Every structure is written in structure tokens, then in C-alpha cells.
Amino acid sequence: MDDVDGEAYERGQVASTFKADHASANRAEQILTLTGHVRAYSESQRTTIACDKLEWHAKDQIVKAFGHIEVRGKFAILSGLDEVWATPELNYFASPAMFKRPEAPVRLSRPNARKP
């Protein structure tokens, strides 16, 4: 499918919305894969993930983002990671890179933080 947008659900409620250039679905594994200019947004968390590829694993209730990832939310801006896992509502995030020394530093900036 090309030029797609839609909604991801968690416990019967819209958890986040998404847009991408392309999408494919693996119904047997319940995985939706989005590629090309991917954006996912959670209204309740006011958080956006932008990336090259995003997989929504419905069975596991997890979103996996890959490539050129930027997470923007009311908490901060997270960038410099190649892989991020999140809940469908985009309220919890983790990355394998956070548990090892990355070649390129992970950047976490707080847009409204006071300077020392």
C-alpha cells in the first residue's frame, strides 16, 4: 500500500496515529510495517516518532522504530539512535543502544530546560 495513514489501538482505544509512504502487513504474525517518511503521533502523550521504518507488533503491543529516529515529546527530544522500542501509546521508550557504549552519542535535549 502507498501513501498510508491510520491508527494503532491499545485495549480497544486509539493509542497513536501514523503516516508513511508505504505499508505492508503480515497478518499471520500481526505485524504492520511502515516505510518512507514515517511519523507516529500520540495525542495523549503529545509525542511524535519520526523514522525510516516502523513496525507495529500487535500481539506484543510494541512499536519498533528503525533508522534516523527522532522522538519529540513534552519530556524532551531524543535523537541519534538506530533503534527504539515503544508502547503503542508512545509513553515508554527503550533502545538496545542505551545499554552499550554507542559509536555515536545518544542525544537527549530538553527544549525548555534552564541553562546552568
Q: Tens digit of pLDDT for each residue in 69-78?
A: 999 988 788 8
Domain of residue 91: give its range: 2-109
Task: Tally the domains of the chain.
Answer: 1
What are the pLDDT digits (tens) for 44-90? Answer: 899 999 999 999 998 998 999 999 999 998 878 888 888 999 988 89
* Burial call 12-22: b when 16+ CB within 10 Å, e when fewer: eeebbebbbee
For residue 101, is it within any domain? yes
Residue 1 has pLDDT above 90, yes or no: no
For residue 114, is it within any domain? no
Residue 98 has pLDDT above 60, yes or no: yes
Q: Taking the CB of residue 11, how many other CB atoms lie within 10 A of it?
A: 8
pLDDT at 111: 59
CA distances from 6 to 22, 32, 40, 82 (A): 12, 11, 9, 24
pLDDT at 95: 83
